[in-house]
Amino acid sequence: MGCFSCFDNKEEGDQLNPKISSSHELPMQPPRIEKLSSGLDKQRMKSSVAFKKEHSSMEKEREREEREKEKEKDIIPAGVSISAQTFTFRELATATRNFRPECFLGEGGFGRVYKGRLESTGQVVAIKQLNRDGLQGNREFLVEVLMLSLLHHPNLVSLIGYCADGDQRLLVYEYMPFGSLEDHLHDLPSDKEPLDWNTRMKIAAGAAKGLEYLHDKANPPVIYRDFKSSNILLDETFHPKLSDFGLAKLGPVGDKSHVSTRVMGTYGYCAPEYAMTGQLTVKSDVYSFGVVLLELITGRRAIDSTRPHGEQNLVSWARPLFNDRRKLPKMADPRLEGQYPMRGLYQALAVASMCIQSEAASRPLIADVVTALSYLASQTYDPATAHAGPGRTERPGKAMQPGNNNSNSNNSSGNNVNNINSKERDESPRDFVAGILNKDFDRERAVAEAKMWGENWREKRKAMINNGNGNGVQGNEESSPSMSS
């Protein structure tokens, strides 16, 4: 017997491997040609496979869209529809003459911006085209369309419509002819005049009003999350409007103190607590506003790698200077050439200082910032009357000492602090702002009283000028509440 017993058993072997006798052999049959696939069948099979793959891909895409819709539920309130006008890609390509380079206005995180003219209405518009390889995508596009469809305020840019043809994503805004605030603060060409003090305060107050609307008037509140100088657009009168709402987020409601989200925004403008924890509040916007206010006052960028090591971060450079009043005049933009009210400078810097506090709870509400800056913006500064009385002239940037006609003409703007009378020296710039920013302070009454005080002072000043007492006017003007010096 071998090792494999089944092979030694002949009967079992015959059962396992039966032999077919020649008398019972099956006739040879031709191959079944009809079962072989023709070229057409092969093509049909390929089409069927491709269809199944496409169907599967469509199912996955549909599932992905459903997931995206679920994600958007925290952004899109139930029952809200987007009311903005829809455009075809062809319409917007025609408006920009096929996106020609001469229509190009600028580029940001979303994509390129072009100037165009709508063929249907003739309206000049700004058209922003989504960069598919950029930092922002469909979610940011949807958020911006939704936000600007629901939110309307004189200090928010108006959305005219949008395009979502295929994979094209474009936004159509009102055209702002003076570009962004950043264009007027940094890298100015030699033939472009820098912003004067009055215009800077006007822009600051208007931008603050835009934030106030988002924080206090919108329901639920909206956190802008990307407040910076390049997102503040200006019309031909330097009226500011906030733009680029792709990163905006609905604020906390009910008993929630914050919303948690991934950290987005621009380095140099992000509040420290948000950058470290991802916890977002309206005070995060207040911090960013403080940085932009510092940009307006100093003319410096939020982050400038071309400056010395200790001056590259604007906030880090400014904070130590706030502790020494003698250094505050040195913070003013040199391009102002001293053409600013000293007291107004102190008060604007005090507002900025409060906004950039490290602790969010220590920062003021944006409504109180609006009150303070609206007061400063209402006090028009006139360099012709601020530094010289009748029949007297003064070199720009040099403040005359009150009651002293023999002021040293070599004094630098850094010594202007010595030109303020004793009453002003005793008063901290924070005292004025702290009163306005007090939560229990009657803001409307404060503004009304300030205006009345300023009007009375102007009447008094005119009377003194008519009496020929120009020196007396100048001697008291530094401490007047109208901040005309």
**Separation of alpha carbons 372 and 446, rounded Å:** 10
**Separation of alpha carbons 436 and 434, rounded Å:** 5
Omega cis (within 30) before 221: no
**Separation of alpha carbons 289 and 357, rounded Å:** 12
Q: Who's near 97: CB < 8 A, 6+ residues apart?
A: 103, 116
Contact 239, 216 (CB under 8 A): no
Question: Which of 130, 118, 97, 191 has its CA nearest to residue 160?
Answer: 118
Other C-beta atoms closer than 10 Å to the C-beta of 127 total 27
Question: Residue 297 phi/psi, 5° resolution?
Answer: -75, -45
Ordered alpha helix ranges (H), 96-196: 138-150, 181-185
**Separation of alpha carbons 196 and 190, rounded Å:** 16
Other C-beta atoms closer than 10 Å to the C-beta of 225 total 23
128 is in an annotated binding site: yes
**Separation of alpha carbons 430 and 473, rounded Å:** 26
Opening angle at CA 113, ends 109 and 117, nearest 5: 160
Contact 343, 319 (CB under 8 A): no
Q: Who's near 418: CB < 8 A, 6+ residues apart?
A: 401, 411
H or E element in which residue 127 lies: strand 124-130
Catalytic annotation, pick one of 226, 244, 333, 368: 226
> The dihedral of CA 127, 71, 248, 84: what is its sign?
positive
β-sheet bridge partners, residue 116: 125
Length of the chain: 485
Question: Which of 156, 159, 169 has its CA nearest to residue 215?
Answer: 156
DSSP state of 234: E
Contact 471, 407 (CB under 8 A): no
* Single-letter amino acid, residue 146: L
226 in catalytic set: yes
* Single-letter amino acid, residue 247: L
**Separation of alpha carbons 201 and 379, rounded Å:** 9
List the binding residues for ATP: 128
Which residues are designated catalytic? 226
List the binding residues: 128
